[in-house]
Structure 1
């Protein structure tokens, strides 16, 4: 198996079957940043397996997804996900620098 295939499979596996969060199916495909943020917040707050605080776990999963997609992430999708970061900060009552 080629390295890129292993990487793609590994990152998809983490996104779909995170040990820390039970993610809503296809949540990162939503066009609604508020829906993405609310789902991540809910997952992080209900998880008993996460290793850090809910905000950090939720933001880490979102950042992981964005970074793994890299250059293959279309600008419109990246914008939705970056907006979801802002919504997540708001949902947790954090300012931009937390």
Structure 2
């Protein structure tokens, strides 16, 4: 697995926690049920805040 910055790791952790509680929503407003999608949302939010996130291969 790729290494992310501390800030990015925290964002992913928050997104996964929200997903487990059923509070995480996608851009269209639907509830997120996939762990992969929750990670993607966390990385996206971290990227918006300027955290270092490696590009997808």
Which TM-score band (shorter chain)? 0.3 to 0.5
Select the structure that is richer in helix: 1
Query: Highest relative contact order (Cα 8 Å, sep 6+), 1 or 2?
Result: 2
Q: Rg bigger for which structure?
A: 1
TM-score normalised to the size of structure 1? 0.27
